[in-house]
Amino acid sequence: MIRTTEWTMTSDITPETAYRETGAGPRLWRLSWLPDRLLTRQQAWAGMELDEILSDIDSVHNRLIQARAADCAAELGLLWEQAVIMLSKRMITRLQLEEVEDPPVTERNRNRPHLARLH
């Protein structure tokens, strides 16, 4: 589910977000996974919807949902396959960063709680 405010769009399915740019110009938006592009609100919504669709494993074999994903990608000037690659790369990077930030418990850091995982 996409939640919106005047300034942000967030999802309860994915960590990606959309946010409105500040400034004196028209209301423009950016997607966290497509930060180099200025978008309309409608395009930002399409990007959030696309990310949610691609994050839902149950939609893999649903042709109607796949068609909607293609429509959302087209709204952004992308093929849905391009979006899959972009979002996959972001997920891989995010997972790699989590591994670095959350080192395993070892004898060396066992007595340093700020370095050890708390499970």
pLDDT band at 11 (very low <50, low <70, confident <90, very high): very high
More confident residue, 35 or 97: 35
Which residues neighbour 16 within 8 Å (Cβ) at sequence distance 6 or greater?
31, 32, 33, 48, 51, 87, 90
Whether the pLDDT of residue 110 is over 80: the answer is no
Q: Residue ranges per domain, the chain? A: 2-101
Whether the pLDDT of residue 69 is over 70: the answer is yes
pLDDT band at 57 (very low <50, low <70, confident <90, very high): confident
Which residues neighbour 64 within 8 Å (Cβ) at sequence distance 6 or greater?
none
Distance in Å from the first CA to the final CA of the chain: 29
Q: Please identify which residue in the block is written with the tokens 């028209």.
A: 26
User: What pTM was estimated for this model as a whole?
Assistant: 0.79
Whether the pLDDT of residue 20 is over 70: the answer is yes
